[in-house]
Structure 1
Amino acid sequence: MSEISIKNLSKSFVDKNGEVIALDNINIDIEKGDIYGIIGMSGAGKSTLVRCMNYLEKPTSGTVEVAGKELGSLKKKELQKHREKIGMIFQGYNLLMQKSVVENICFPLYIQGIKKKEARKRAYELLEIVGLSDKRKAYPSQLSGGQKQRVAIARALAANPEILLCDEATSALDPQTTASILELLKDINEKYNITIVIITHEMSVVKKICTKVAVLEGGHVKKEGEVATIFKEVISDVGA
């Protein structure tokens, strides 16, 4: 059984010009332990798709099944509980600027009702994993972009998720920092068997870390499969 199964998913919005179809009949299956890339240009529908995977965006039609549960069938409290299985990191880090590094990581645990002592113990473990033990008392304004993203990764892992969604998580970083973040994600995937979905517009990111990839264009999946196979097809298409 797939860890994430998306069937016949469509998403449309209404703006001043009428209906906009962001996603049109998407079908994707992501297996447990995959590092799955979703690549496409700006406006392809990538971010909308990843937000549908945890129901931050509700699809107009179709289904999203995550870890054996169809999200559209869950009541509000059930959905909130099931979302604990899904961590998410963003391009803009989304850190609380007035909170220290350790408090940023503890924040989702406090929301779950975890006591401060236990939450801080978990936060210190995660800071060790992401290589920032010496920054636990620092504030986001005192960190580099790469360090902020490491804090964001630690926070996303706080509740022991089974899935990590990464929405353009490296696009604001320089190449060297991007490489270090990708190595960290790969290490997390291998050590903890966490399924990772990476949304990106950068082919280099997909080639470096992903096992499978879907190419999005205009809200449609144009190609999907093993990374090596898809890139051979892309090169062949360009050559043609």
Structure 2
Amino acid sequence: MAVFIEVKDLSLEFDGVKVLKDINLSINEGEVLGILGRSGSGKTVLMHVLRGVEEYEGISGSVIYHLARCEKCGHIEPPSKTGEECPACGGDTLKPFDADFVKMPLHDPKRKDITKRIAIMLQRTFALYGDDRVIANVVNSLTEIGVSSEDALSKAVDLLEKVQLSHRMMHVARDLSGGEKQRVVLARQLVRDPMLLIADEPTGTLDPRTAKVVHDVIEKAVRDYNMTMVITSHWSDVVEDLADKAIILEDGAIVSEGDPADISKEFMQRVCSVDKSCEVEIGDPLIRVDNLVKKYISVSRGVVYAVDDISFEVKESEIFGLAGTSGAGKTTTSEILMGIVQPTSGEVQVRVGDEWIDMKKPGPECRGRALQYMGILHQEYGLYNHRTIIDNLTESIGIDLPYELAVRKAINTLMSTGFTEEKAKSILSKMSDEISEGERHRVALAQILMKEPVIVVMDEPTGTMDPITKKDVTRSILTAREKMGDTFIIVSHDMDFLQEICDRVALMRSGKIVDVGDPDIVLSQLTEEERLEAATES
């Protein structure tokens, strides 16, 4: 098997911070390389360097593509095609050709000939014409490379069949699910008959069932088109199933390389050990809920008790979970705690200093006084994409400090969510879409912590996250609690997450609290139906 890509002593730094460190790697033609690593480990940066459409100032080493090239028309093929007749012009045999993306200028036509044969799938950037139908998206890609309108429609249908999406060809692209959009992206990439597919977390935001469909389609496309592939994934079993060999990236360096099954196992051992037993002393009660009721009047159902006579306490520096499936009452309870929803009856009190505040009473000396020490992180948290991270942590949320003090406070806050000091400094000037999903979640938490809350309510913080990003979220919460002593209330249907992170959990069912206490004991009372529903929601 011919060597296709050689990476030698590759290093890359931004603003004095090394994000890739002496990478040495060989990828054979037709091989699938899996890359595993935590958020911020350098996976995405490495993928972009391999793609070759960007120029980097602080780069050194080599990224050499071994290829076969037609000297007459410039057509590029993988190295095994050397000596064969050019399939594009038929006028010459393909000659051996090496290209180093580190040394070759970005505007070199030969480099562009290579990058045209490289396909890429990203985690969130779907690169579709949202208002056009699915079939039109693929037809547009075909006509862009010179396929006649007569032939383009038939070929587009063939490609949509290959990605198992012929049943959606007349749908408007923006109305598709995330998994369906990724398959349209793949169909558009296959138009160019790629020799290399770079798949950077292509299913990172999808649920496991949808992710499997996309992975199966990608695997079939790689096999049918005889492509080489480099794929990153937080799902270690994806790398284990798809890859021929795998590496682990950690802090910009390759720390392990070998058989995908062995590497996946090692990676999970590295990332899945989360220590909840850090030295945090749980204090006195900070929130008291007594006989809380919230009822609504429904035309079809009559009186509906969203919250039905519940009582519990949350203690200072505790991580307290509100567990339950959809409709159990946990979100309504959290909204009452935050003063968003007024209860029908019962008491909610929050301690500020030594004074207990009645959350039912509005005004700056009552509920308003407590709320200035409370923060909420919603499931669909939003960073300002057009602002830098430092702006997201200061001006954008109304924090007006001298710049040097703002930077110092931002770095310390980011460190409290699990960033190293070096990493925190390096992301301050970046836009939010330039960092990974796990890093964005930590920045969103830091956004809340910048306002110095005592109580943080987190609504479904893991959503449909993959297991590794969930571990990052777990660490960020534990680190923030350890460094700042804040109290966390976690509202979630993700029972595994609650079991791992919480000191105590309240299990809710039909508006009532079934039990409060040790997560293992309380969550063991879930019914099979509740476990199945919770898993589906996750």
Q: State if a TM-score over 0.5 links the two structures.
A: yes
Which deviations, in whole Å up to 9, do the C-alpha atoms of 1:81-119 show, x marking residues without a partner?
211211111112222212221232234433333333333
Give identity over the alignment, percent: 33
Q: What is residue 60 of structure 2 aligned with on the other side?
A: 61
5+ unaligned residues in a row in structure 1: which ranges?
Answer: none
Distance 1:183 1:203 in 2: 15
How many Å apart are 1:56 and its aligned residue?
A: 2.8
How many Å apart are 1:47 and its aligned residue?
A: 0.5
How many Å apart are 1:223 and its aligned residue?
A: 0.7
Cα distance change of structure 1 residues 234 and 22 upon mapping to structure 2, 3 Å threshold? closer
Q: What is residue 440 of structure 2 aligned with on the other side?
A: none
Q: What is residue 87 of structure 1 aligned with on the other side?
A: 119
How many Å apart are 1:149 and its aligned residue?
A: 0.9
Distance 2:51 2:189 in 1: 13
Cα distance change of structure 1 residues 225 and 82 upon mapping to structure 2, 3 Å threshold? same
Larger radius of gyration: 2
Matches within 5 A, 1:80-119: 80-92=112-124, 93-119=126-152
Distance 1:105 1:206 in 2: 28
Q: Any idea what SS the aligned residue of 2:51 has?
A: coil
Distance 2:268 2:171 in 1: 46
Q: Which amino acid aligns with 2:39?
A: S
Matches within 5 A, 1:1-240: 1-14=2-15, 19-59=16-56, 60-68=59-67, 69-70=98-99, 71=101, 72-73=103-104, 75-92=107-124, 93-231=126-264, 233=266
TM-score after normalising by structure 2: 0.41
How many Å apart are 1:4 and its aligned residue?
A: 1.9
Larger CA deviation: 208-217 vs 162-171: 208-217
Q: Any idea what SS the aligned residue of 1:3 has?
A: strand
Q: Which amino acid aligns with 2:44?
A: S
Distance 1:66 1:81 in 2: 12
TM-score after normalising by structure 1: 0.88
Distance 1:24 1:176 in 2: 35
Distance 2:262 2:185 in 1: 32
Q: Which amino acid aligns with 1:8?
A: D
Contact 1:87/1:165 (8 A) holds in 2? yes
Contact 1:102/1:137 (8 A) holds in 2? yes
Distance 1:111 1:5 in 2: 31
Cα distance change of structure 1 residues 167 and 237 upon mapping to structure 2, 3 Å threshold? closer
Cα distance change of structure 1 residues 24 and 147 upon mapping to structure 2, 3 Å threshold? same
Distance 1:61 1:144 in 2: 40
Contact 1:106/1:158 (8 A) holds in 2? no
Larger CA deviation: 154-163 vs 76-85: 76-85
Equivalenced residue count is 234
Cα distance change of structure 1 residues 232 and 97 upon mapping to structure 2, 3 Å threshold? closer
Distance 1:197 1:155 in 2: 18
How many Å apart are 1:235 and its aligned residue?
A: 7.2
Contact 1:48/1:57 (8 A) holds in 2? no
Q: Any idea what SS the aligned residue of 2:246 has?
A: strand
Contact 1:106/1:119 (8 A) holds in 2? yes
5+ unaligned residues in a row in structure 2: which ranges?
Answer: 68-97, 272-538
Distance 2:132 2:270 in 1: 49
Larger CA deviation: 5-14 vs 213-222: 5-14
